[in-house]
Structure 1
Amino acid sequence: MDHVHADDRLAVIDVGSNSMRCVVYERLTRSPVALFNEKVLPGLGRTVEKTGRLNPDGVRLALDNLTRFRRLLEAMQVRRVDVLATAAVRDAADGPAFVAEITRRTGFTVDVLSGEEEARLAALGVLSGAPDADGLAGDLGGGSLELVLLEKGQIGSQVTTPLGPLRLLEATEGKAGSAAKLIDQHLGKLDWLAKGKGRSFYPVGGAWRALAKMHLEQINHPLHIIHQYSVDGSVMAEFAGQVARASRGALEKMQGVSKRRLDTLPLAALVMERVLKAVQPSRVTFSAYGLREGHLYDLLPAEEQQMDPLLTGCGDVAARIGRFGHAEILSAWTAPLFAGEDPAARRLRQAACLLSDLGWIEHPDYRAEHAFLRILRMPFAGVDHGERAFLAACVYVRYAGTLEGAVLAPARGLLKENVLARATMLGLALRLAHTLTGGAATLLQRTSLHLGESILTLALPDDAAMLTGEAVQRRLDALAKALNRVGDIRIQPGA
């Protein structure tokens, strides 16, 4: 099962202190797509602090589910399975016996990660989803907390600490005051944490994702996607403190609370609060990418690691769904309308070109709506919530010709008016391009746009004059109006 080719399916099973998750990926790529994703909560680490051994009930549950996963992966024709075990298995006296039993029952080889390796892979996961991450990454598992300094995309100082909520629950019997002192003692030994002040903190791990989900619900954020959800540091510290000190009854009434995490959620929130108090980051930006994604990223050749995850992901979608594969030509064709754009804006324009044919297979009356919602919610990496909304709005306009419609409310809540105006211009340009040529790249290459002071000119060679018509003129006029210009079609003899 270990030999794998570039297009083979592979799986990563993460055996954590609280949860265990099996994820099957379509193939090893810069923007991996999950085909199957299942989590169980054995709570292996619930007894490690007091007894030094794994939770016996958790061991049975984990082994049963690993056996099940083996059978499923065989049926899915998964060629490679990587099993990664973390703090509980690493620290428990019976960890080696548990690993041996996994291999006996399933044939899986288990890689028991050191604390340093766990921290490194978690940091790589953050960087795989946000290549320019700068600040401090924190991965909270059931048994440990890994902290890693990120220096503009590079890994710096790192540490693993026994501050997972299961460990804290055993060590302090759930007493918040005692837990806070223990957390502060460990954090106080790390003088390099001060380097995170005024930068970003990137939380990783299921418990902290649950905290993000609660905050999303509380403020009625327009987009319920945790990856790259960003909050002011002091605001998140205050919210985490409220959750840490809330009664069980109060937590049960909160929106977005997972009942399976009620026992450990207050301590997870307390760790978040104490870390934010110690580090004082300007922003907290949650990452849905962690250990598993970091492991996949680590398997990639160096040149693939350097690829843009957003453009790679959009390119993969276009290759599967699009019809003509002409995004580079579209990008060059629309460029004259956006002279002086910065690299970030150009990157988003390229992504919009890749996604611009996404809705062709839908019913014409619903193409705009379906494409908008799909892009807004698609599991892209390398993109924040505002950028998601921009891309979705562009493609909505490409199909609808307008930014009117109730479905657009999430985008309007995430974008400023000037950004919405840019989305409209790009969407109208894409709409014109597809109408003019039916999406055929060879035709589009023979036409061009010219932005003058008062006129937007669409230039065509004389042997392509038949491409013009009432629909083309209307869409040129709509684009010109958005640019405060008049549209003009110019036939160039001999061109």
Structure 2
Amino acid sequence: MPTQHHRQAADQPLEGRVAVIDIGSNSIRLVVYDRLSRSPTAVFNEKVLCGLGKTLERTGRLNPEGVKQALENLTRFQRLIDGMQVVRVDVLATAAVRDAADGEAFVAEVKRRTGLDIQILTGTDEARLAAMGVLSGTPGADGLAGDLGGGSLELVTLDRGIIGQQTTTPLGPLRLMESTDGKIAAATKVIDQHLSALPWIHEARGRTFYPVGGSWRALAKMHMEQANHPVHIIHHYSIAGDDAAGFAGLIARQSRSSLEKVPGVSRRRLETLSLAALVLERVVRTVQPARVVFSAFGLREGHLFELLSADHRRQDPLLTACTEIAQRLGRFGAAETISQWTAPLFAGEDENAGRLRQAACLLSDLGWAEHPDYRAEHAFLRILRMPFAGIDHAERAFLATASFVRYSGTLDGEVLAPAKGLLKDGPIQRAYILGLALRLAQTLTGGAMMMLQRTALRLGDEKLSLILPEDAAALVGEAVQRRLDSLAKALNRSGEIIIQTAPKLAG
């Protein structure tokens, strides 16, 4: 199938690889996804820092050296796309190309060299797609989303998943560097002037601010290192608003030589990092959110999300991803049956707790192909670090811990340290009980869901009963009894097995 170099709506998931090229003011990035779906997986991701907008504020034109580098890399990207047999590619250009006098000429030259059609996004488009990206990764997001690129800052209000007011401002660090010579006092004045003209952003006070963009992701990584956070995943990394403002202000006022000593920060990112930190500080101090929650999902993901039908957008991204994993990696299919089987152990759970339990059940056969001695560890680490959406770090730890217990039967082991650093006692105990229940289910039936459907758990005041029909009594063995007893003990009950005899017909 020939590659489609254009943007059009898709009413349903598209089979075959899809690509998005994001031409920003500072960087150009190609991401190839396995397909267009509610939970797409990136199979290739490459970024080049070209600095197209580096001279825009001073000259009104794109940076000539950046143009040269961009054309070279876009030609490379086009060859990669064809080689990967991508069925659809969309190329999106943002502030630099939009505002430059020679932006249209750049678009025409890209078309001539590569055949790629570039869509130049308006500021409104850019803001909307950034907000859509946040919502794709954090359904129900509530507060204010901010997407910082090299040339602009987009701000969008979010009301429990509904996009509200939006704007674009010329507060990208490349522009600020040119307009203020990189001087913090002058840049602060410019930023505050623009923010003061947006009274509606104060609606997010006491709620959540969702930062998007590469420079702000770099700040999140630096904060993780400083805080010794146990999971180095940007998406849904959460900081108290006051802490975020203080940290960003500190970074904004560091010298370049000091920042160069910070591990994990790209040297090319250092050029704009201080001003990016200053923008974050000023936004947070102005808006005063309770939390700052970083989003790894932005314009590219928002573009794909917008292409989906409304029905597909309403799907839960976590459960969609877990279902696909179960179908691809599980041995027996229909893993959601385990969710119904474990439900009696968790009476009264709220909607999100039930959702997490269902996700854990879908992932319960994840490690079967690993070496037996390492199944628990592999399953734990894999789930903890998977690129899931719709989940925070504590919830990751819950799923990973439940899977670890499913394979190990215990909460022992240094590998669990990251999870224990994120979970309170209650969720840890809940993950332990769920993991033991999954272990029992797999031992009882070997993972055959149709067999499991004929059995049931019943939680009484003093006993945990495993109920089987008479013709399934042969499933009971020493291993089943032992694992039932372990689960019952975790629930402060004693375990019993009840064999139900079929009623005799009268007559």
Could you say which TM-score interval applies, normalised by the shorter chain? over 0.9
Partners of 2:148 and 2:335 in 1: CA distance: 40
- Residue 102 of structure 1 corresponds to 110
The match for 2:427 among 400, 411, 419 is: 419
1:336-363 CA deviation, whole Å, 9 max, x = no partner?
0000000010000000001000000101
Q: Map residues 17-166 of structure 1 onto 2, 5 A cutoff.
A: 17-166=25-174
Report SS of the residue matched to 2:116: coil
- Residue 352 of structure 2 corresponds to 344
- Residue 4 of structure 2 corresponds to 2
Q: State the Cα distance separating 1:8 from its structure 2 match.
A: 1.3
- Residue 282 of structure 1 corresponds to 290
1:78-125 CA deviation, whole Å, 9 max, x = no partner?
011100000000000000000001111111110000000000000000
Code of the residue aligned with 1:428 in structure 2: it is: L
Q: List gaps (5 residues or longer) in structure 2.
A: none
Q: State the Cα distance separating 1:151 from its structure 2 match.
A: 0.3
Partners of 2:425 and 2:264 in 1: CA distance: 31
- Residue 358 of structure 1 corresponds to 366
Q: List gaps (5 residues or longer) in structure 1.
A: none
- Residue 492 of structure 1 corresponds to 500
1:425-459 CA deviation, whole Å, 9 max, x = no partner?
00000000000000001100000000010000000
Partners of 1:30 and 1:471 in 2: CA distance: 40
Q: State the Cα distance separating 1:494 from its structure 2 match.
A: 1.1
CA contact (8 A) 1:135 1:201 kept: yes
Q: State the Cα distance separating 1:257 from its structure 2 match.
A: 2.2
Q: State the Cα distance separating 1:318 from its structure 2 match.
A: 1.2
Partners of 1:324 and 1:66 in 2: CA distance: 44
Report SS of the residue matched to 2:89: strand
The match for 2:485 among 477, 485, 489 is: 477
- Residue 338 of structure 2 corresponds to 330
Q: State the Cα distance separating 1:255 from its structure 2 match.
A: 3.4
Q: State the Cα distance separating 1:193 from its structure 2 match.
A: 1.1
- Residue 387 of structure 1 corresponds to 395
1:201 aligns with 2:206: no
Code of the residue aligned with 1:269 in structure 2: it is: A
Q: State the Cα distance separating 1:326 from its structure 2 match.
A: 2.4
Code of the residue aligned with 2:275 in structure 1: it is: L
Report SS of the residue matched to 2:58: helix
1:321 aligns with 2:329: yes
Partners of 2:263 and 2:287 in 1: CA distance: 28
The match for 2:22 among 14, 35, 38 is: 14
Report SS of the residue matched to 1:198: coil
Partners of 2:21 and 2:247 in 1: CA distance: 32
Report SS of the residue matched to 1:24: strand
Report SS of the residue matched to 1:289: coil
Partners of 1:260 and 1:406 in 2: CA distance: 37
User: TM (normalized to structure 2)?
Assistant: 0.97
- Residue 435 of structure 1 corresponds to 443
Q: State the Cα distance separating 1:418 from its structure 2 match.
A: 1.0
Partners of 1:470 and 1:61 in 2: CA distance: 67
Report SS of the residue matched to 1:40: strand
Q: State the Cα distance separating 1:182 from its structure 2 match.
A: 0.2
CA contact (8 A) 1:327 1:350 kept: no
Report SS of the residue matched to 2:61: coil
Q: State the Cα distance separating 1:254 from its structure 2 match.
A: 2.2
User: TM (normalized to structure 1)?
Assistant: 0.99
Q: State the Cα distance separating 1:327 from its structure 2 match.
A: 2.3
Partners of 1:165 and 1:114 in 2: CA distance: 19
Q: Map residues 192-341 of structure 1 onto 2, 5 A cutoff.
A: 192-341=200-349
Partners of 2:134 and 2:365 in 1: CA distance: 30
1:467 aligns with 2:475: yes
Q: State the Cα distance separating 1:259 from its structure 2 match.
A: 1.4
Bigger drift between 316-325 and 88-97 goes to 316-325
Partners of 1:208 and 1:94 in 2: CA distance: 28
Partners of 2:326 and 2:82 in 1: CA distance: 29
Bigger drift between 172-181 and 247-256 goes to 247-256
- Residue 385 of structure 2 corresponds to 377
Code of the residue aligned with 2:412 in structure 1: it is: E
Partners of 1:391 and 1:408 in 2: CA distance: 12
Instruction: Report the number of matched residues.
Output: 495
Partners of 1:183 and 1:328 in 2: CA distance: 50
Q: State the Cα distance separating 1:6 from its structure 2 match.
A: 2.0
Code of the residue aligned with 1:282 in structure 2: it is: A
- Residue 405 of structure 2 corresponds to 397
Partners of 2:344 and 2:483 in 1: CA distance: 17
Partners of 2:357 and 2:115 in 1: CA distance: 47
Partners of 1:291 and 1:267 in 2: CA distance: 21
The match for 1:188 among 196, 199, 208 is: 196
Code of the residue aligned with 1:26 in structure 2: it is: D
Code of the residue aligned with 2:284 in structure 1: it is: L
Report SS of the residue matched to 1:81: strand
1:396-429 CA deviation, whole Å, 9 max, x = no partner?
0000001110000000000001110000000000
Partners of 2:328 and 2:64 in 1: CA distance: 46
Code of the residue aligned with 1:57 in structure 2: it is: E
Partners of 1:62 and 1:439 in 2: CA distance: 52
Q: State the Cα distance separating 1:395 from its structure 2 match.
A: 0.4
Report SS of the residue matched to 1:158: strand
Code of the residue aligned with 1:24 in structure 2: it is: V
CA contact (8 A) 1:218 1:255 kept: no
1:191-225 CA deviation, whole Å, 9 max, x = no partner?
10110100000000000000000000011100000
Coordinate RMSD, CA, aligned: 0.9
1:257-282 CA deviation, whole Å, 9 max, x = no partner?
22121110000000000001110000
Partners of 1:108 and 1:51 in 2: CA distance: 27
Code of the residue aligned with 2:329 in structure 1: it is: I
